[in-house]
Structure 1
Amino acid sequence: MNYTYSALELEIKELYGQLQIYDMQPLNIEKAAKQFDISLIYKPIESKAFSIRNRRAIFIDERKDPLRQREDFCHEFCHILKHTGTQNNTHYLFKQMQENQANAFMYHFAVPSFILNNINLPNTIYEAVPFISNNFGVSYEFSHHRLEMFYRNLITYPNHNYWIKNKASMEYAPY
């Protein structure tokens, strides 16, 4: 199936190439931080990113489980790569735009489309959610949302009839 990647998905694929990750596996956030010269600091505070005078740091909330820490890292990594300055004195709409960008980046970076396109996903959402969660190291809620995003994009793609015919439907299994 031909899949047209968005600019964000192409950017993620390039970042994964820099990390030399080409298959399904949980993102190693320590390795990613080191590769991009970012200090990774675990503290009992809300996760956040800082970039001051060519020094970049991501603070990860050590009170969270490793799955949610990985999710937070992906969100904060976007702020490091794409945003400058602080959000403290910015207009709330600008801050919201940056947060929306970071959230979109987070989902795509933790579970990249180019990898999803190359694996055989289980046929039901009840099987696919734990499959993605276990293989990419993200929470069930995160996995569910990311799968919805991925399939929504496939369905809106003009060639979606091919996908519907050749992939089993992502219907919810009956109880």
Structure 2
Amino acid sequence: MYSALEIEVKDIYSQLLLDEMNPLNIEVVARHFDISLIYKSAESKAISILNKKVIFIDERKNSFQQKEDFCHELCHILKHTGAQNNTHYLFKQMQENQANAFMYHFAVPSFILNKIDMPNSIYEAVPFISRRFGVSFDFAHHRLEMFYRNLINFPNYYNQIQNKTMLEYAFY
């Protein structure tokens, strides 16, 4: 049983015919959705005007951070319309929260986390997820916290994981 966001991400992955064993390729995803990717020395941003979609990626960031930014901006392209600068700050905050949630789930999908043999220690799992999905250590750590928080709060949430060992957790 997955959340609506997790189902949406799984559907997008199957629609894109993405290889679950390889890190997400943002150029392939952009091409599929007819999004122009532009790398420049400016904050990452998404723009959609008259069916022309563009995601600007900050070229000053490393490839992990660029992928994370892409996933965030992809949510804005797929789910949001209009310019945020003219909206109420609470509405803008809601859209940013949606984009952040989408970013974590799209870059490191739950349905793939369920399938992989995860290391039993958080100290091993974070670098494993970072390498496996091509995301930063901080991103991998936060995503694992999200994933395991759902397991703890909703024991039947991921019924196919019941036999997996829970990570030993320690702050670092």
Output the TM-score relative to the length of structure 2: 0.93
Calculate percent identity across the aligned residue pairs: 72
Aligned residue type for 1:100: N
Alignment partners' CA distance in 1, 2:164 and 2:129: 17
Partner of 1:153: 150
Aligned residue type for 1:62: E
Unaligned runs of 5+ in 2: none
Task: Tell me how far 1:21 sits from its aligned partner.
Answer: 1.8
Q: 1:80 pairs with 70, 77, 81, which one?
A: 77
Q: Is contact 1:47–1:61 with CA below 8 Å preserved after alignment? A: yes
- 2:100 is aligned with 1:108: no
Aligned residue type for 1:95: K
Partner of 1:11: 8
Partner of 2:37: 40
What is the aligned length?
171
- 2:24 is aligned with 1:27: yes
After superposition, what is the alpha-carbon deviation per residue over 1:111-130, rounded to whole angstroms, capped at 9, x for unaligned?
00010011110001100000
Partner of 1:140: 137
Alignment partners' CA distance in 2, 1:106 and 1:60: 14
After superposition, what is the alpha-carbon deviation per residue over 1:58-92, rounded to whole angstroms, capped at 9, x for unaligned?
00000000000000000000000000011111111
SS in 2 for 1:88: helix
Q: Is contact 1:22–1:115 with CA below 8 Å preserved after alignment? A: no
Partner of 1:49: 46
After superposition, what is the alpha-carbon deviation per residue over 1:95-122, rounded to whole angstroms, capped at 9, x for unaligned?
0000000000000000000100111100
Task: Tell me how far 1:158 sits from its aligned partner.
Answer: 3.6
Output the TM-score relative to the length of structure 1: 0.91
Name which of structure 1's ranges 23-32 and 83-92 shifts more when overlaid on structure 2: 23-32
Alignment partners' CA distance in 1, 2:171 and 2:134: 27
Alignment partners' CA distance in 2, 1:18 and 1:114: 15
Task: Tell me how far 1:168 sits from its aligned partner.
Answer: 2.6
Alignment partners' CA distance in 1, 2:72 and 2:161: 31
Unaligned runs of 5+ in 1: none
In the TM superposition, structure 1's runs of 4+ consecutive aligned residues that sit over 4 Å from their partners are 162-165
Q: 1:93 pairs with 85, 90, 94, which one?
A: 90
Aligned residue type for 1:153: N
Partner of 1:122: 119
Distance 1:169 1:77, change over 3 A: same
Task: Tell me how far 1:170 sits from its aligned partner.
Answer: 1.5
Q: Supply the RMSD in Å over aligned alpha carbons.
A: 2.0
Alignment partners' CA distance in 2, 1:163 and 1:50: 39
Task: Tell me how far 1:163 sits from its aligned partner.
Answer: 8.3
